[in-house]
Amino acid sequence: GNSVTQMEGPVTLSEEAFLTINCTYTATGYPSLFWYVQYPGEGLQLLLKATKADDKGSNKGFEATYRKETTSFHLEKGSVQVSDSAVYFCALSDRGGYQKVTFGTGTKLQVIP
Amino acid sequence: EAQVTQNPRYLITVTGKKLTVTCSQNMNHEYMSWYRQDPGLGLRQIYYSMNVEVTDKGDVPEGYKVSRKEKRNFPLILESPSPNQTSLYFCASSLSGTGLTYEQYFGPGTRLTVT
């Protein structure tokens, strides 16, 4: 079956530091890949996505590149802010009969001033 | 405002007392889904619905029921809750259940405690 593996958290960074959250996946075929973000007390919301190999998704200064050869979709941001403190979920959507989405376990990011 | 709403947001109940968590979306989405979120396990899908009167099991359906009589509503029913169903529950919707790129829109969550 499909699976998504994320680096364990929590990750604590100082404001303006560089962020990388690793995500690797196992899937049959060619899935679409997503990063969702969950702010405290809220539901998940889509941060960015990529639908094919070498695509780069980007939003709010975050980026992730779909790497088929390494089955990875690492999330990066050049300069984090306190407001980026949240839980980040990597996910994939399979080319099955319906939109089956498999989520990673989530990585908690805390940014301190 | 486009949104997914869930009620209640917090619920404490006792073992065996039937309960329903409601979910409603105002985006005319075809696809709706229920997830539970547990520490260290991420989100796991309970049930999903491709459209009205079309529902199917996700990864962890035991102990849950759903129905989809109207496009906008997708209630989650626990006929006889047990403590292992204590969790944070999310409803989500998407424009379609067959597109790979459609994002899911999530409700704010329902924190359920079963004692």
Of the candidates A73, A87, A16, which has an alpha carbon nearest to the alpha carbon of residue B106? Answer: A87
What per-residue confidence (pLDDT) applies to A97? 56
pLDDT of residue B71 exceeding 80, the answer is yes
Beta bridge partners of B57: B47
pLDDT at B11 over 80: yes
Read off the tokens for A78.
Answer: 């050049």
Nearest CA in chain A to B110: A43
Residue A80 C-alpha, separation from nearest chain B C-alpha, in angstroms: 23
Residues of chain A in contact with residue B41, where contact means CB-CB under 8 angstroms, are 105
**Average of pLDDT values for B100-105?**
78
- Chain A residues with CB under 8 Å of a chain B CB are 4, 31-32, 34, 36, 41-46, 49, 51, 89, 93, 95, 97-101, 103-106
Closest CA to B25 of B38, B7, B43: B7
Closest CA in chain A for residue B102? A99
pLDDT at A1 (0 to 100)? 80
Judged against a pLDDT cut of 70, whether residue A95 lies above it is answered with: no
Specify the pLDDT at position A94. Answer: 75
**Of B99, B78, B74, B97, whose CA–CA distance to B87 is shortest?**
B78
* Pairs of CB atoms within 8 A across A/B: 63
Pairwise CA distance, residues A71 & B70, whole Å? 39
Which positions in chain B touch A100 (Cβ < 8 Å)? Answer: 45
Q: What is the pLDDT of residues A6-65, one digit of tens each?
A: 988 899 999 999 999 999 999 887 888 999 999 988 889 999 999 889 999 999 999 999
Name the nearest CA neighbour of A87 among B75, B2, B106.
B106
CA pair distance B57, A93, nearest whole angstrom: 17
Pick among B30, B43, B59, B95 to test the A interface (most A CBs inside 10 A) = B43
Cross-chain CB nearest to A99 (options B4, B43, B99)? B99
Give residue B42's pLDDT.
87
A67 burial via Cβ count (<10 Å: 0-12, 13-18, 19+): middle
How many CB atoms are located within 10 Å of the residue B47 CB? 23
Strand partners, A23: A6
What span, in angstroms and rounded, lies between the C-alpha atoms of B92 and B115? Answer: 26
